Amino acid sequence: MNLIFKFSSIVMVLLNLCCIVFPMQGNAQTKVTINHKVQRFIGDVSTLDRSKFFNLHAKSHDKDVTAFYEEYNIGEGRGFWGPMSESKRKGFTVGSTYPNSTIIDKSTDVKEVNRYVGTEHPRTVFVDEMDVEKAANWAAKYFVDEVDADDRPEFYEPMNEPFVHAHDFYEGKWITEDEIRVKRRMAELFGAIGKKIHDTPSLGKMKVVGYSSAWPSLEINNFAHWEDNMKMFMDVAGDDMDAFATHLYDGVNITGQNNNRSGSNSEAILDLIETYSYKKWGKVKPHAITEYGVITSGFDENYTDLESIQSIKGINHMLFNLLDRENVIDISIPFITDKSTWHLTENNGYQPYGAALFIPTNIGEKEVQGWRYSPKIHFFELWKNVQGKRIQIASDNPDIQSQAFLEDKILFIALNNLDIKTQTVNLDFIESLEEIDYITKKSLRIYNDKQEEMSNEKLDKNITSLELVSGETVVLEYHFTQNIELTSAIAERKYYAPEHITEIKANTQNTFTFNGLVTDQIENVTLHMGIGRKHDKSKKPIILVNNTSVDVPTNWKGSDQAHRDDFFGVIEIPIDANLIKANNTITVSFPDDGGHISSMILEVSNQRDVSLGLEKVQIISPNTSVGSAQRINVDLKYTATTSRDLVAEFWSQSQWLGQFTTTVPAGIGTQTLSIPLGSTPTIGDKYIVKASLRPVGKSWEYNIATDQKNDILAVEEQGYTVNFIIKNNNNELIEGTNVSFNEQTVSTNGNGEATFNNIFAGTYNYSLSHDQYNSYSEDLIVSNENVMVEITLDDKYWIHAGEPKTVTSGDLVTLTASTSDHTNVTYKWFSSADIDIENSENKSMNFVAPNVADNTEILIELEGTINDFIAYDNIIISVLPNNDITSSELITDKTSLLYPNPVEDIININLKDDTEIVFMTSSGKEVKTVSLTKGDQAVNVADLQKGFYFLSVSNNDITTLHKIIKK
């Protein structure tokens, strides 16, 4: 029986009451529950993609950095250079003039990219009232013609943290109207660049992200900060953004409180962005967390290892948050840089950059003598080995973050303590563990006033609990003696209420709707409530789920945020799965006025078959554009573990326009689905193509695997070329085949080709005919590219000589022909070998395998005439030497004393002396002996079987061998 655990609201309420009413002595107790047999999915994602999380904030080919990438399995993260920096380097005026922007390379072949974020400083990109279209044209030109794949980033972020620099682009004091105007123009620049890159087919692998918000304090001034910044950017540029870039930082002051985004605050920021994205586009556009970490203060002016390590605590805190969103994360980059040699200047006292991973061994000197790792290396040491499929894990304390992954024989369990107190964590495995080889524990403890403690040790195999001090991160590795087999799966899916930023009024219900939920086999339900309120306001509202009250916990991830002017965070509320329906209404009412509910998200976990992770669907085409036609063809590749419905859908930016469904068998395959549309797509508009794999007969709520292509440009439908190449079974090109296609008939030329031009996308039937070959007919789907069709035609008239044989010298070999037509056939068997073929013009022939000294191959050829058509075939007969027969002489010539030969019944023998004759088979077995007197003698051999025989004739101590064939 598969056990998938869930936590009821009753348990959570009791736990909270215990903590409130009965304060515990000593360390707080936390239970982390693990089911290592149950695979966990976040949306459709289970396997950890390290390239989304483990990156260096650098783009460096330095040998030390390159060695670091390889040793720690880390990717390049971010580099500061791009088209605007290059334009400035060439002497052009920033934001005004650019090099010639006419693209030279007109190829539509999609160019390769390098997985990193390319960005630029606002001062090299922007000026007030600039022409954003000119800038966008140059950006596209630069990425097509000016750089190779190494410098063509997968993610282009046109400016880094532009809005905090808005005041740099107008004169005088801070003016609200100017701030709004400049920020909007910045957003328009992002949008223009995004659109131009997306409209350039060869840049189809590039993504444009923005706006890299530096201080996403969205709740400020009753969410005016949200309205004026991120929401404005999403409204102005969002259609042309592939992901939304946000920077998340904790602020640490050694003499004061932490100013943390870790925990509930960062959750609330990302939840609001996702909610608005889903409301606006019907999907969550991904996040690009192009920086995150910790800003330190209160330490010595010069570099210290103690200050350096502080950032890793916040990075680990936020990493756990991001890992729970992998399905909506494109990339995340902890703010850890390479050597940052630009900072090693006289003005900086030759001190290392605080975010640097590599530190000079002789800090404070002009000439660097060598390099060492800063303590930041512990982050990469801690996570170096972690990989695999997600495994079900949960903590009953929101301050203890948890992740689990399984890779073959190794189970990784990662734990992190957000609390200011030490926590004792009890590990509860739902199912018995297989035989353990050994367990290791990596631990990183970071302190404000003393150096960190990084340890790597082996644990007792029977370990059931461990202590985590405040801010500690632990990675456990369970090494088993054999691979672990997953037996079930659980899939987490988030449903976003369209209602958001709703004002809180005392004792007034705010209503949130969640429709279209999948309700099969629900295991866990959690309501993520984001709120922004003053600290003296209640955080424990009355919540009704479909008119049933649920309790709201008084604990959440991370701190109480008392250091902030407002509380802005997410409170996670467990809900009884029995309360959930397909369509739901949730009401929230607080006892006091003030603040807003920023977002409401229902996270529902449904039990799934373990095959969920094995099944996939991928859109092969279209990639960037479709012809404006009544049907849209979508090429799909799929992997199914059983019979499934394969579905292709066509959407506008906000509306479903059509779909096509076909049922596919288990296995790996490709299909072209032709979607009928009510009207042709508008040329110049952008559309969305979606693909899904689902149980037969089920709707989209039951999707097992999905894929999606965005920003597909509708273009004027163009004709394509369809080229047929026709061959026969001998791989010879056939001339004169009539190919009927699209109401035309064309005969193949001497190269076996027939070409049809100006063919539009659609499904067609074609047929092939030729006097000498069987007819052929099949459907052909023309998608969005030229098509080449190679067909092999079977001969209409054929003749077959049989299968290859291996025989021994002296064997009687019989071959029988087969043909496509048993009437009106003439046969002719022949060979260049020295053999006598009997019945050479019959359907069946025979011959005696010749005497050979070594293994010999004989080619037998057959010519057949069928209805005036001549067909050919041949066969190889392998003849082995017959070592069982010994003789002093073998007489095989036609002037032999024996006649007739071949013989049916009577053979005549002319003898000079009285002689004894022995008849032997080809293997040397004696079958007949006769004694004869000299002269002409007749011997009856009717009693012998058909075949080849040797006659041993002995006279005067001389023995000769003669060969006969008995018919």
DSSP string, 804-856: -EEEETT-EEEEE-EES-SSSEEEEEE-SSS---BSTTSSEEEEEPPP-SS-E
Using alpha carbons only, how large is the chain's radius of gyration in Å?
A: 41
Report the C-alpha gap between 169 and 176 in whole angstroms: 13
Q: Starting from the edge strand earliest in sequence, which strands make up the sheet with 616-621, in order?
A: 616-621, 631-640, 667-676
**Cis preceding-peptide flag for 902 (omega within 30 of 0):** yes
Inter-CA distances, 748 with 305, 589, 741, 879, Å: 77, 77, 13, 43
Report the C-alpha gap between 693 and 465 in whole angstroms: 42
Place of tokens 């059509």: 658
Report the C-alpha gap between 919 and 941 in whole angstroms: 10
The token duo for 212 is 């890299």
Place of tokens 């989209």: 700
798, 822 in Cβ contact below 8 A? no
Strands 488-496 and 28-42: parallel
- The strand pairing partners of 928, in sequence order, are 919
Give the 3-state secondary structure of residue 303: coil
Instruction: From the candidates 219, 291, 472, 572, give the one annotated as an active-site residue.
Output: 291
Q: Residue 147's Cα: distance from chain center in Å?
A: 27
For residue 603, count other CB atoms closer than 10 A to its CB.
Answer: 17
Instruction: From the candidates 161, 326, 492, 523, give the one annotated as an active-site residue.
Output: 161
Report the C-alpha gap between 873 and 406 in whole angstroms: 58
Percent helix, strand and coil across the chain, each rounded to 5?
Answer: 15, 45, 40
Length of the chain: 967
Give the 3-state secondary structure of residue 264: helix
Q: Which residues contact 527 (CB under 8 A, 6 or more apart)?
A: 543, 545, 550, 572, 573, 574, 575, 586, 600, 601, 602, 603
Give the 3-state secondary structure of residue 201: helix
Report the C-alpha gap between 852 and 832 in whole angstroms: 16
Strands in 408-552 per DSSP E: 410-417, 423-429, 436-445, 453-459, 465-468, 473-480, 488-496, 502-503, 510-514, 522-534, 542-545, 548-550
Which class for 357: exposed (0-12), middle (13-18), buried (19 or more C-beta within 10 A)?
Answer: buried
Output the CA angle 496-499-502, nearest 5 degrees: 130
> Does 301 qualify as catalytic in the annotation?
no
The token duo for 377 is 């290396």
Q: Residue 478's Cα: distance from chain center in Å?
A: 27
Q: Which of 189, 194, 219, 218 is nearest to 206 (CA)?
A: 194
Please tell me what DSSP assigns to residue 953: E
Q: Which of 291, 346, 394 is nearest to 4 (CA)?
A: 394
Q: What are phi and psi of 50, to 5 degrees?
A: -60, -30
> Does 86 qualify as catalytic in the annotation?
no
Please list the active-site residues: 161, 291
